[in-house]
Amino acid sequence: MIRILIVEDEKPIADLLDMSLTAAGYTCDCLMSGTAAADAVGEKRYDLILLDVMLPGIDGFELMEYLAPLGIPVIFITARSAVKDKIRGLKLGADDYIVKPFEIAELLARVETVLRRCRRTDGTITVGDVTVDTQSRVVTKAGEVVPLTAKEYALLLLFLQNRNIALFRETIYERVWENDYMGDSRTVDLHVQRLRKKLGWQERITAVYKVGYRLEVRE
């Protein structure tokens, strides 16, 4: 199980991060100060730290200097958008730098990217009887291989990264097709229908009125 430490002193943001990451299958701890975070990394093993800059006690940049030798991947999540701050954070050793406000879908994608780059994913994602091996890109259902096109596989990963989160059609299109959404929903709808049929997920991938789709995971 991947364990993520969230260091954020704004409780609504910390709660949103905790809820979204937990829904995506991660285990999270939340702390509200740099001092508490410095103590925590000495007591528990973390696979990733999401770190605010403006914190009581030790700020994020100071904490990063302490964390860098430990080799724990770090993503800064902060309202400080100046280029000089981004450069400072990255030069201190952070793996990514996200400026508030941010989209949860983008955050989850960046988290997965950093974990994969640092080889801290377990390589498989399982929902019900469907298993995805992210290293070989092989998808199985009840032990049988399910052949997916490249777009269907990318769509499946997007849903798995955003479990229980309603995704707008334009978000799906822009993330999977890596192109600007022009308002034609037929491409997204067709691929969702095919993915549902191949995985037997007609009831699991639900349509959200005037929004798009959501992968329901209640296990």
User: What is the mean pLDDT of the segment spanning 25-48?
Assistant: 90
Q: Are residues 61 and 129 in the same domain?
A: no
Report d(CA 110, CA 55) in Å as an integer. Answer: 22
Please give the residue range of the domain that contains residue 86. Answer: 3-117
pLDDT in tens, 92-127: 999 999 999 999 988 998 998 888 777 655 567 888
The token duo for 194 is 């095919």
Q: Are residues 17 and 112 in the same domain?
A: yes
- Contact call for residues 102 and 83 (beta carbons, < 8 A): no
pLDDT in tens, 161-175: 788 888 899 889 888
CATH code of 150's domain = 1.10.10.10
The amino acid sitting at 152 is: E
Q: Are residues 101 and 8 in the same domain?
A: yes
Q: Angle at CA 92, nearest 5°, toward 76 and 89?
A: 35
- Contact call for residues 85 and 79 (beta carbons, < 8 A): no
**How many structural domains compose the chain?**
2
